[in-house]
Amino acid sequence: MKIVADRGLCQGYGNCVTAAPNFFDLDDAGMVLLLRPTAETADEQAAVRQAIPVCPMSAISATD
């Protein structure tokens, strides 16, 4: 799964970090920072899939 984090849409809520801390963090400005661009295992993909809908700005997306 390829992961995209749109920093232009991000408002720094951090919900993605809570849902998938191995993939997302916030930088010093409070904007999303993508730690890993791909999720390989089923567990990793499930974590990313949980992060997508909890972003109120729809800044997180993924493709299989």
Q: What pLDDT is recorded for position 27?
A: 97
Number of CB atoms found within 10 A of residue 59's CB: 22
Q: Which domain holds residue 29?
A: 2-63
The CATH number of the domain holding residue 32 is: 3.30.70.20
CA of residue 11 relative to chain centroid, distance? 13
- C-alpha angle 11/41/39, rounded to 5°? 30
Number of domains in the chain: 1
- What's the rounded Cα separation, in Å, for the pair 15 and 58? 11
pLDDT of residue 1: 98
Structure tokens at 59: 């800044």
The C-alpha atoms of residue 32 and residue 7 are separated, in whole angstroms, by 6
* Per-residue model confidence (pLDDT) at position 37: 98
pLDDT, tens digit, 9 for 90 and up, residues 4-57 = 999 999 999 999 999 999 999 999 999 999 999 999 999 999 999 999 999 999
